[in-house]
Structure 1
């Protein structure tokens, strides 16, 4: 072995391959990332005398500047040290191993991937539990790995109930971010989040979340005093009276949590008529999703409509 390119987007599988290779060959792994790019020549020179004892692992080759990439390739061609280049694509002139994940929309292949990772951790599991892990986490191998590691610590068979109890619902967080981006008239962010969610969540589930969200907004617009800012005590009391999650209510009302960026006070953005108009649009969207062959375009158009209604330009 001299230089091998690990192509594809499977970060977890690449990590395992490199660690296993270093262990089997008795090599010390030297990790190089973009912060080391400018001094890569120095690093190679320092370790060249002991080249048989080291494995150079370039973890983010795609992110390096073109000049730094060129310089690194030149150093690799003149060294006897084994080198791993991690890249999304193959690199001409080098042996390559493919570590590609399923496409975001390939649900069955992702569930098979979750099952493979559970087996890699020597865990027994119910198939419905693997399906639920993917449903809650989405097509992200790093997040899937972290949640499986949590389950491994429990030391029990992975059941549906255990997943619901232990695994963090990342898809719910994404859905909340989508709803808030839409209601804040941040069309650009909403489109990006929507594109990601649609890769693994059915449109009807997105619609259900939007309906619940804008019903909560309707309650707040109707019953909250119109102010430029609100205290935590006021928000907490109102959320309990209206049965609206307190964090959701706080964000809608422009409350800024410590260390978080400012949020849009929706009571300055909406009145009752505007929210009623949005709820009517959601009713029409429900009918359209049930009758339309393309179920994604109507949701994007809904995002644009809310932005136009509230004067959002992004």
Structure 2
């Protein structure tokens, strides 16, 4: 089969495309990352060496743009067997290679994001209503993985879905369970061990790892942008939120700001982390993401991450 180029910045759509192709073909699935030392050998062996009674094979090459120029040239000139599908994931289209482009709207293109939410609702068999689309955009935001996860959970309500249900469910999960789990980890609370099992049961592995990665990347951006001190005023938090485009409640909790009537004591993350430690955590999350997508056990991987954060 010819090489298929999946371009654009929508990683979710690329994942869905590959998943559907593997399922449709009942194929063997091989995922290859750009930092594999034997990446070229794996690809060459898989696309040109298949047994008489072997299944069809999908070779999924992630971040093809990060390959060396000589490797790209060699891969693009390979003769692909009929039962092999070679997927090359890139941000920009590869000239002369057919495929699909999956682009996300810019974060400020509200109407395009609402159209995307409408499509997601239809794909999950849910009724498309303007008030539901507006609520999802306002409360979840321009984040394809978060939107996908919230909409998937709404399937249980099907035709009974209304704004009152939405308010309850979206608040309960988006602002409480998964977000609280991320903060329980970054605040090094024992509660994180208890929450882990619930989160693994309620969310797909890819969503959990993506959300954790986003959480620590947001913290790293705040850390790099902000001078370390023991307390912050609300105007400082509001300004930082606008400049970094991170929701103000999240910035407030990262910086240990306590709202009136708040029952728990937030932790000022700037006082318990260093730049190097955050880099190590983000790097570990990158490898956890790879492991989970390759069939690793989510609960074990995240449990080890929690222990690493608490101990280092």
Q: TM-score, normalised by structure 2?
A: 0.55
- Change beyond 3 A, Cα 1:58–1:183: closer
Unaligned runs of 5+ in 1: 221-238, 262-314
* 1:54 maps to which of 54, 57, 61: 57
Q: Distance in 2 between matches of 1:63 and 1:245?
A: 47
Tell me the equivalent position of 1:16. 16
Residues 117-139 of structure 1 deviation map (CA, whole Å, 9 limit, x = unaligned): 01100012432222222222222
State the Cα distance separating 1:90 from its structure 2 match: 0.7
Across the aligned residues of Structure 1 and Structure 2, the Cα RMSD in angstroms comes to 4.5
Q: Distance in 1 between matches of 2:19 and 2:98?
A: 19
State the Cα distance separating 1:71 from its structure 2 match: 3.9
Aligned residues: 222
- Change beyond 3 A, Cα 1:252–1:43: closer
Unaligned runs of 5+ in 2: 184-214, 230-236, 279-312
Q: TM-score, normalised by structure 1?
A: 0.54
Q: Distance in 1 between matches of 2:220 and 2:57?
A: 46
CA contact (8 A) 1:125 1:158 kept: no
State the Cα distance separating 1:112 from its structure 2 match: 1.1
State the Cα distance separating 1:91 from its structure 2 match: 0.6
State the Cα distance separating 1:66 from its structure 2 match: 4.2
State the Cα distance separating 1:102 from its structure 2 match: 1.0
CA contact (8 A) 2:3 2:98 kept: yes
Tell me the equivalent position of 1:41. 44
- Change beyond 3 A, Cα 1:181–1:54: closer
Give the 3-state SS of the residue equivalent to 1:91 in structure 2.
Answer: coil
Moved more, 55-64 or 118-127: 55-64
- Change beyond 3 A, Cα 1:23–1:192: farther
Q: Distance in 1 between matches of 2:67 and 2:240?
A: 25
Q: Distance in 2 between matches of 1:193 and 1:63?
A: 32
Q: Does the alignment pair 1:185 with 2:230?
A: no
Q: Does the alignment pair 1:96 with 2:114?
A: no
CA contact (8 A) 2:6 2:88 kept: yes
**Larger Rg, first or second structure (1 or 2):** 1
- Change beyond 3 A, Cα 1:89–1:183: closer
